[in-house]
C-alpha cells in the first residue's frame, strides 16, 4: 500500500484548514467512521463539527479539563460548545491522561513519573502526535470511541490543528495496545 503523508513547514493553527481537507479526503477515500479532534477554546472543534455535520461519522471533540488553565474555569466557550453540539458532534471534557496528577506531584517533589515519561517520549514525534494518542484514549475511556477501531485523530501545537494520525483505539488501561497506524500529517519542526 502506498499513501502520502503531509509535512508542514511550521507547526500551528495556519495548518488547520489543510488538516481538515486531509481528514475529509481520508474519510471519503477509506470510509473511516470515527474522528477525534482536540480543541481548547472550541474553534478547531467547531470547524470540524460543521464540516462533518450529517456525514455519518462519530465525531468527538476533546477539550481541556475544567481548571486546566486556572481554578474554576474552562477554556471552551459556551457559544462554541452550543454550536459544536448543534452540529451533531459530542464534546468530552475530562482529565488529560498524561498531565494532571503526575504534573502536580512532579512540581511539588521535583520528580519524574511514568506518565510524564510517556508524554515526553510521544512529544519526540511532535506535540500534536502526543495529543492525538492522548485524546483517542480519553475518548475510549469515556465510551465515546470503540476500542480496536481505526480512528482519525487530529490535534495541534498550541492552537489549531497541524497533526493528523490514524490510530487503532485503546482505553488508557490498555495503553500498550494503542497503535499508531499512520502519520498522515504533521509539522517537521
Give the residue with greater pLDDT, 114 vs 103.
Answer: 114
The predicted model scores a pTM of 0.90
Name the CATH superfamily housing domain 21-187.
Pyruvate kinase, C-terminal domain (3.40.1380.20)
Structure-block grid coordinates of residue 179: 497503535
Q: Kindly state the average pLDDT of the residues 11-23.
A: 97
Name the percent of the chain lying above pLDDT 70.
Answer: 95
**CB of 187 closer than 8 Å to CB of 163:** yes
Name the percent of the chain lying above pLDDT 90.
Answer: 72
DSSP string across 127-145: HHHHHHHHHHHHHHHTTSS
pLDDT in tens, 95-109: 877 765 566 667 777
End-to-end CA distance of the chain: 27
Give the residue with greater pLDDT, 2 vs 168.
Answer: 168
How far is the CA of 64 from the CAs of 69, 124, 126, 137, in angstroms? 8, 22, 18, 14
pLDDT in tens, 142-179: 999 999 999 999 999 989 999 999 999 999 999 999 99
- Pairing verdict, β 163-168 and 34-38: unpaired
pLDDT in tens, 117-142: 788 888 889 999 999 999 999 999 99
Question: CB neighbours of 11 closer than 8 A, spacing ≥ 6?
Answer: 126, 127, 128, 156, 157, 158, 162, 187, 189
pLDDT at 100: 58
Rounded to whole angstroms, the Cα distance separating 102 from 105 reads: 5
pLDDT for 45 beyond 70:
yes
Give the residue with greater pLDDT, 105 vs 76.
Answer: 76
pLDDT at 101: 57
Least confident of 66-70, 78-82, 151-155: 66-70
Closest CA to 155 of 180, 181, 186, 177: 186
Rounded to whole angstroms, the Cα distance separating 13 from 7 reads: 14
Structure-block grid coordinates of residue 21: 481537507
Rounded to whole angstroms, the Cα distance separating 138 from 159 reads: 19
Q: In the chain, where are the structural domains located?
A: 21-187
Amino acid at each position: 500500500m502506498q499513501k502520502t503523508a503531509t509535512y508542514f513547514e511550521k507547526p500551528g493553527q495556519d495548518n488547520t484548514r489543510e488538516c481538515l481537507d486531509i481528514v475529509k479526503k481520508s474519510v471519503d477515500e477509506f470510509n473511516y467512521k470515527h474522528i477525534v479532534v482536540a480543541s481548547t477554546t472550541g474553534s478547531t472543534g467547531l470547524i470540524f463539527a460543521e464540516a462533518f455535520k450529517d456525514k455519518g461519522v462519530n465525531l468527538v471533540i476533546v477539550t481541556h479539563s475544567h481548571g486546566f488553565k486556572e481554578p474554576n474555569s474552562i477554556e471552551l466557550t459556551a457559544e462554541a460548545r452550543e454550536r459544536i453540539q448543534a452540529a451533531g458532534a459530542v464534546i468530552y471534557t475530562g482529565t488529560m491522561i498524561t498531565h494532571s496528577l503526575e504534573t502536580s506531584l512532579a512540581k511539588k517533589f521535583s520528580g519524574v513519573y511514568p506518565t510524564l515519561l510517556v508524554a515526553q517520549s510521544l512529544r519526540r514525534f511532535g506535540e500534536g502526535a502526543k495529543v492525538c494518542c492522548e485524546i483517542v484514549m480519553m475518548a475510549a475511556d469515556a465510551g465515546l470511541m470503540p476500542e480496536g477501531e481505526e480512528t482519525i485523530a487530529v490535534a495541534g501545537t498550541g492552537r489549531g490543528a497541524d497533526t493528523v494520525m490514524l490510530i487503532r483505539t485503546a482505553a488508557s488501561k490498555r495503553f500498550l495496545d494503542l497503535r499508531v497506524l499512520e502519520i498522515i500529517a504533521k509539522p517537521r519542526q
